[in-house]
């Protein structure tokens, strides 16, 4: 007999940038187009430390780091304009094994959420371009919460929208801030490619490692 999801069920919540696709280079390119006006440039290594940070605190950090002042809303809008221009001309490819993983979750009836620090219109644009929007029954963007990652609010809100208790959710993250956020929300946490030395429940390098859904059994979320 197939194992079924325990009541009250479980859910899986993914980050987007770096997890669903390798979009961090696109974010960096768009950011540097904005920073160029202020004589600044963000390196890949510097940007890595800011992964998972919501847009408002992200730009406040950059203004302090590079010594310029501007309306944060204006900076976000400028970056968003560059993001759409870059996204429109680039071919977007989901990370290895992601489609198989999402299909396996849907077949088992496990709800899927997305918790991303990106803007909501960017999230929807990317998901639709990848043909993945239909898989996600709950999406929370960074602009919808008052405290972004590493605080737990975005994961707690996504769990609420899924209708699943946080402790019965599995979060998949690739950034330090995101991993901390999910852990603070009380979720099981899977680190995608990098665990940053944090105490996570599992680390994977490909979604192909998860498509059999055995991790749900290992985490005690399935029953006979």
Helices and strands, number each (H, E), in the chain: 9, 8
113 pairs with which residues across the strands? Answer: 13, 138
116 pairs with which residues across the strands? Answer: 141
Half-sphere exposure of 76 (CA within 13 A, CB side): 18
- Is residue 21 classed as helix, strand or coil in its secondary structure? strand
Is 15 catalytic? The answer is: yes
Strand 4-5 and strand 138-141: pairing?
unpaired
3-state SS string for 28-83: HHHHHHHHHHHCCCCCHHHHHCCCCCCHHHHHHHHHHHHCCCCCHHHHHHHHHHHH
Considering 15, 17, 174, 195, which one is annotated as catalytic?
Answer: 15
Active site residues: 15
């Amino acid at each position: 007999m197939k194992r079924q999801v325990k009541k009250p069920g479980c859910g899986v919540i993914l980050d987007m940038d770096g997890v669903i696709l390798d979009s961090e280079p696109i974010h960096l390119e768009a950011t540097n187009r904005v920073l160029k006006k202020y004589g600044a440039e963000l390196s890949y290594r510097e940007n890595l430390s800011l992964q998972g940070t919501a847009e408002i605190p992200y730009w406040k950090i950059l203004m302090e780091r590079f010594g310029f002042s501007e309306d944060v809303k204006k900076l976000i809008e400028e970056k968003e304009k560059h993001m759409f221009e870059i996204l429109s001309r680039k071919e977007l490819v989901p990370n290895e094994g992601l489609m198989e993983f999402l299909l396996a979750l849907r077949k088992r009836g496990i709800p899927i959420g997305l918790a991303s620090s990106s803007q909501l219109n960017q999230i929807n644009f990317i998901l639709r371009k990848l043909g993945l929007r239909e898989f996600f029954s709950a999406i929370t963007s960074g602009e919808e919460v008052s405290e972004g990652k590493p605080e737990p609010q975005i994961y707690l809100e996504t769990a609420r929208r899924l209708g699943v208790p946080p402790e019965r959710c599995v979060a998949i993250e690739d950034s330090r801030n995101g991993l901390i956020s999910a852990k603070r929300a009380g979720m099981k946490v899977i680190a995608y490619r990098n665990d940053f030395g944090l105490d996570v429940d599992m680390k994977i390098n490909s979604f192909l490692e998860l498509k059999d859904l055995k991790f749900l059994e290992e985490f005690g979320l399935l029953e006979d």
